[in-house]
Amino acid sequence: MFSPQDAAAQDVLATKAVTAILVDQSSNTLLYAKAPDQPFEPGSLAKVMTAAAVFDALKAGEVTPETLYTVSEHAWRTGGAPSRGATMFASVKSQIAISDLLQGLIVHNANDAAIVLAEGLAGSEEAFAERMNALATRLGMKNTHFANPTGYPAPGAKVTARDLSLLAGYILSEHKDRYGLFSQPEFTWNNIFQRAKNPFLGNVTGLDGLGAGQSEPGGFSGLVSVERDGRRVIAALSGLPSDKARLASVKDLVEGAWDAFTLNRLFDAGAQVASARVFGGTAGEVPLVAAQNVDVLLPNGGTMNYRLRAVYEGPLIAPVEKGALAGEIRVLGPDDAVVYRAPLLTGSDIREGTLSQRAMNGVRQLLFGWL
């Protein structure tokens, strides 16, 4: 999954959200970012990470969908009927299969399901939060910390729009088989019919996940993924004053991905992009070629503020083997923001040079350095 390194605020898009990001996952292009590293409390968006941690446990064979977990009194009081929040209405001391708990967690946003899953997998909410944070670290979510599986207010709990986009990309790439839960419209468990609580479902064409959140200081937030005509985008935002304003902002961002950008083929796979200097070889440089088709979404109506840059650490030391990873191509947007990156490979073999050739290379480096 593409991991945007720099914020890029394009003139072609705007949002009333305090913080937002829009990534085209299909082409690995950062389309828009507004304060994407500004933290906010996750609210119920923490449940997306709870789901990801459970998905990981299922994939690793640690548990199965049929594994039963017992509803503790803590889970019942804190997240069940007495809490007056979103709940599966699970009875204390009853046993529920992970498959049903995941439906409660993702479809109905149930807090008791989140706590039962956490206690079942890790023994306590606190121990499960350690799993959540370990996964966040592995995904490169640098400005995120989870305190519990529900998203209930807690000191130190925070996420960012950028980090949430990484989480969504991880679920889409590593747990595609379970992603359908995020667009499931309803489910019935224990003779209780429950509808999906995701406020975005059915209101944005092609939207099939992931969730929404709210907190007193951070306002209304959301994390969504939309697929249309073979293209998928991920958007995350926060800081909206109401659920109505949040939905409008989600629509504006998502529609902009299709209305304001066009896919451009910059290089075919295998095409030469640049050259890299080589030290100690039979040749002084080697071509750098695109490892894949370089398809980048660029704004309609002009790209004067966009530049290409080939980056590598060099000089490369002979011998150089054809097809070795040597660097990357970057597309820089306004303010030198990195909006796209893709690997560059060496395009040919360079054998180690003779003693005299290596000596000459040394003289050149001493006198002129390597540019």
Task: Please name each of the domains of the chain with its CATH number.
Answer: 19-259 (3.40.710.10), 265-368 (2.60.410.10)
Give the SS3 label for residue 371: coil
- Helix and strand tally (H, E) in the chain? 8, 17
The encoded tokens of residue 325 equal 């990873």
Residues 99, 116: Cα–Cα separation, whole Å: 12
| Amino acid type, 226 | V
Residues 370, 347: Cα–Cα separation, whole Å: 20
Q: Along the 371 residues of the chain, how does pLDDT read in single tens digits?
A: 344 333 333 456 889 999 999 999 988 899 999 999 999 999 999 999 999 999 999 999 999 999 999 999 999 999 998 998 999 999 999 999 999 999 999 999 999 999 999 999 999 999 999 999 999 999 999 999 999 999 999 999 999 999 999 999 999 999 999 999 999 999 999 999 999 999 999 999 999 999 999 998 889 999 999 999 889 999 999 999 999 999 999 999 999 999 999 888 999 999 999 999 998 889 989 999 999 999 998 888 766 678 899 999 989 999 999 999 999 999 988 778 889 999 999 999 999 876 555 555 544 444 434 44
Res 359: pLDDT:
53
Res 343: pLDDT:
96
DSSP annotation of 166 reads H
Name residue 220's beta-bridge partners: 214, 240
Cα Dmax for the chain: 84
Residues 98, 104: Cα–Cα separation, whole Å: 10
Asked if 146 and 157 touch (Cβ cutoff 8 Å), the reply is yes
Res 369: pLDDT:
45
CA dist 183 to 103, 109, 201, 227, Å?
A: 11, 12, 7, 12
